[in-house]
Amino acid sequence: MKPIASAEATLSADRLHADPAIWITRVPDDSLLERAATLQAEGPQDRPLWGKTFAVKDNIDVAGMPTTAACPGYAYTPAASAPAVQRLLDAGALLVGKTNLDQFATGLVGSRSPYGTPRNVFNPAYVPGGSSSGSAVAVAARIVDFALGTDTAGSGRVPAAFGNIVGLKPTIGSVSTTGMVPACRSIDTISVFAHSIEEALRVQRAIAGFDSTDPYCRTAPFAHLSAGALPPAVRIGMADVTELCAPEVARLYAETGSLFPARTVDISPFLAIARLLYDGPWVAERTAALREVIEQAPESVHPVTREILQAGFARRTVDAFDAFHALAKARRLAAEMFSTIDALLLPTAPFCPTLAELEADPIGPNSRLGTFTNFVNLCDLAAIAVPAGMGSDGLPVGVTLIGPAWSEGRLAALADRIHRNSARNLPPLPVSEIQAGETRLFCIGAHMSGLGLNHQVTALGGRFIHDAQTVSAYRLHALGNRPGMLRAEPGVAIAGEVWALPTSAIGTLLAQVPPPLGFGTVALEDGPCIGFLAESAGITDAPDISSHGGWRAWLAHASQPA
């Protein structure tokens, strides 16, 4: 859609939806149309978001517009936009306005704001989710194409679930948080709400990048936002959530998990760590970020928010070190878990509370909403929240795929499969072919998807491209728990998988491969490729399993009863 038509559609949708609580500051209609006309006259100019409309959570700076963080007494008007916002403007996107939030991004409900509560688009009796309430509702109501939120404890995922949209919570430090009002500065992220995985990734690619002005910003180790194809074999971890979730959430979670081979994992260590976010040193980190307003103008702060922030003054340093040690252990457990699974699938939220429930108990329901989200940033993980279907109560249910830092591109294929299962009119996620800085790698054994050493490939930034097979010029031998392939005549075609691996990581992976295996040029049906080959001297006595045509077929044969 061209910029003028896009702007007009946004204005029409905003008038039709008629929810003033979405916005704290809106770009005037005339200004929006004028900017759209300028963009249209300029043409796309290779700008990836040309004419797309977007909203920005009002704890992120936009030059010349007030930043309130939903606290009028705190408001200031920045001279410069946050780098994430500026990157979107440079990419040709149309800013529509600043959106409402739980004050100072402290909450997961969306109702802790003097600017009102944005309306849940499926049932106004229920909360919209927060803290990025306005941004999520603006996307869910199809007013804007995408929106920026923030996510420290689930603020970019919970409202995505309640709005039946996608919420991408990036790796900490992959997007600059300069120009963002901090919640917990060490684990804050700027997140994306969108209607599809493809659009969320496109926006994320626009805003990601190193920024030296943000002390927590990190340089990506590889191109982590390139989408791969869905591997033929994946390993998904799931948890027993029956006692933690509403029945419809548990049902749809189980149905979603049935899309993949899944194994049960113990998430209790992560649930224990999650509780530290609001009962540990990170409460004090929130307080430190807002010390001046809490000490000098406490009456300007929402009562529930004020209670949470004032509690930070009572936290003890000695307890903080206990929490840091516990977190280090949890991060180690997460690393071990992701060496055996490709992603952890969890419900995004255990239930959706009503506004009446929240009025009766402002703290309890909010705390419960973070059950499956609070640990993710603490453990330095990436996550994509995605719709899983509609409950019998008419409310959407969301699930979240969680992976190690820098795994967003790999998670995308899994998240897209889930999304297309619940919204069947979505086109498949486009696969990014081999790009500059990547090398095609042909895997034939335990490094293939779903097998024991695949994590060595994915940890280095590898992503699945497609199944493949060699020309009929190779023999395959069984070397215990791995195969050895070598060129031979007569030969057969050997099945395997093509992965894209950062070229800089080829040497690192090779160093992990024991002799007699190594890398060499393999002739595939679609052209040459680097792949796993064996030295002929090392397989002299190894059984020839070429007749099976590949390692997976051999494993299936070997597992059958004699």
End-to-end CA distance of the chain: 62
Q: Radius of gyration (Cα) for the chain, nearest Å? A: 25
**Per-residue model confidence (pLDDT) at position 41:** 98
Select from 400, 395, 313, 496 the least CA-distant residue to 126: 395
Gap between the Cα atoms of 490 and 199, Å rounded: 49
Beta strand 343-347 with 262-264 is unpaired
**Per-residue model confidence (pLDDT) at position 562:** 61
User: Please, where in the chain does CATH 3.10.490.10 lie?
Assistant: 438-558
Q: Determine contact, residues 160/382, Cβ cutoff 8 Å.
A: no
**Per annotation, catalytic residue among 52, 57, 98, 169:** 57
Element (H, E) at 328: helix 317-337
**Per-residue model confidence (pLDDT) at position 426:** 87
Q: Determine contact, residues 61/32, Cβ cutoff 8 Å.
A: no
Q: Exposure of 471 by Cβ count < 10 A (0-12 exposed, 13-18 middle, 19+ buried)? A: middle
User: Please, where in the chain does CATH 3.90.1300.10 lie?
Assistant: 18-26+43-422
Query: In the block, which residue shows the tokens 């409900």?
Result: 109
Query: In the block, which residue shows the tokens 């095609």?
Result: 440
Q: Is the peptide bond before 490 cis (omega within 30 degrees of 0)?
A: yes
Element (H, E) at 439: strand 438-443
**Per-residue model confidence (pLDDT) at position 212:** 96
Q: Determine contact, residues 249/350, Cβ cutoff 8 Å.
A: yes
Looking at 3.40.50.12280, 3.30.230.10, 3.10.580.10, 3.90.1300.10, the CATH number of the domain 18-26+43-422 comes to: 3.90.1300.10
Q: Is the peptide bond before 516 cis (omega within 30 degrees of 0)?
A: yes
Low-confidence ranges of the chain (pLDDT < 70): 562
- Count of helices and strands (H, E) across the chain: 19, 18
**Catalytic residue check, 155:** yes
284 is written with which tokens? 């004090």
Sheet with 463-469, strands from edge to edge, namely: 463-469, 495-502, 438-443, 527-534, 517-524
Gap between the Cα atoms of 367 and 312, Å rounded: 17
Ramachandran region, residue 361 (left: φ > 0; alpha: ψ -120 to 50; beta: rest): beta
**Per-residue model confidence (pLDDT) at position 328:** 96
Q: Determine contact, residues 22/100, Cβ cutoff 8 Å.
A: yes
**Per-residue model confidence (pLDDT) at position 161:** 98
Q: Is 438-558 assigned to CATH 1.10.240.10? A: no
**Catalytic residue check, 422:** no
Select from 95, 98, 136, 94 the least CA-distant residue to 119: 136
Q: How many CB atoms lie within 10 A of CB 370?
A: 23
Gap between the Cα atoms of 5 and 36, Å rounded: 8
**Per annotation, catalytic residue among 6, 81, 111, 131:** 131
**Per annotation, catalytic residue among 111, 132, 155, 226:** 155
Q: How many CB atoms lie within 10 A of CB 532?
A: 24
Gap between the Cα atoms of 338 and 235, Å rounded: 10
